[in-house]
Amino acid sequence: MNLKRLMPLLCTLALTITACTPFSFFNRTTVSTEPHPTVSDGDPAPAPTGRSMRDVAVFYTEHEPGYPDSSDALSLHHDNMSSLIGFWYQVDPVTFTVRSVYPPEVVAASVARAKAYGLHTEMLVYNFLYGSTRTSTAVLETLLTDSAAQDTFVASLVDTALQLEYDGVSIDFEHLKPSRRDAFSRLIERVAEAARAAGLSVSISVGAKTWDDPANGWAGGYDYARLGNAVDRLIVMTYDEHGYSSGPGPIASIGWVERVVRYVTSQVPSDKVLLGIAGYGFDWNRAGGRPRYLSHGQVEALRQRVGAPLRWDAEANTPYFTYYDAHGNLHEVWFENADSTSWKLDLVDKYNLGGIALWRLGLEDPALWDVVGQKFVPVSRM
């Protein structure tokens, strides 16, 4: 969710569990801080093509203070979706069972709505939002080394999915030590075996990489080939090329995304791969500090308020703008919109991927759904 992108939601949820340490979830290694490529004011969108049948999955969250709700976007755009992945569950750091971070009736209502719309539903389980990355790492380390904890987790995961009548389960385990690569693959293989025996689908979110560096602290622990063989859908988090731990730049430049796609499809059957799509942006203050995480609506409101012209990076195929704040500091705002997403959807067709997974529903440019409708027929709608 990576990301797998979300601080206000994470802190809100963390307050119900433990103290929130800012940015613990986003502390990732980014891939580039190169100077900005050529810019252009030309028409950014590619020409429309025919529609193809794809899996259109969305990550769904409950109320997130200060940001648009997933619920409204689900009501408006469900006809263009096929799968809903609920960001509702966490590994309990003491018992290693699966616990909901929301009241059961809230989750049940959201699942019922998704099913009424004909969507495939999966419950996502994550190992972060404990207040520190140290706890996140420790939880995963225990799951990978303690057979009793692993037994408890797998049984609890399957039981929860069956009790609440989900169609499948989804795993987003981060803060994975590269040295635990094989153990992590074995855990996912075990999860997949147990889930399939219960009639459940299995997906997993993995960090994006353009080549296999087993020592890489962010994505080195994910063995694409082995994980792809185990699960039904492998969601590649192709976002935060630039983010909390980098300087300003594209969230997901088209060249970087395509390099990730080329690598992952050399390891995993293309029809199992879902391309991660970002719906958000970042506002970097060039004077220093971490960027602000913004929904598309917040990005546009900011741009209108400061009177900044919209610019287009012709190499990255992404929009951005600059402005000066009240203190005279230069800001750069990079984000994703319908036009930049359109180019990425064309990669889905070019490489015959299984589909896309949007992080997260409600943050995105509403016009994105027009583009999705022009290019894809959701698999559940056939």
Active centre residues (catalytic): 174
Residue for token digits 């979706």? 81
Report how far residue 44's alpha carbon sits from residue 160's, in angstroms, rounded to the nearest whole number.
45
Element (H, E) at 312: strand 311-313
Question: What is the identity of the amino acid at 95?
Answer: T
Structure tokens at 285: 């203050």
Q: Where does 128-255 show beta strands of DSSP type E?
A: 168-172, 201-207, 233-237
Type of residue numbered 248: P
**Identity of the amino acid at 285:** N
By the 8 A CB rule, do 55 and 83 touch?
yes
Strand, helix or coil at 370? helix
Strands 311-313 and 318-324: antiparallel
Q: Which residue has the tokens 């190499």?
A: 315
Q: What are phi and psi of 301, to 5 degrees?
A: -65, -40
- Rounded to the nearest 5 degrees, what angle is found at the Cα of 238, between the Cα atoms of 140 and 245? 70
Tokens linked to 176: 């994975």
Taking alpha carbons only, the member of 300, 232, 269, 277 closest to residue 372 is 277
CA torsion, points 12, 17, 19, 24, in degrees to nearest 10?
A: -70
- Exposed, middle or buried: residue 283 (CB in 10 Å: 0-12, 13-18, 19+)? buried
| Phi-psi label, residue 362: left if phi above 0, alpha if psi -120 to 50, beta otherwise | left
How do 292-295 and 280-285 pair as beta strands? antiparallel
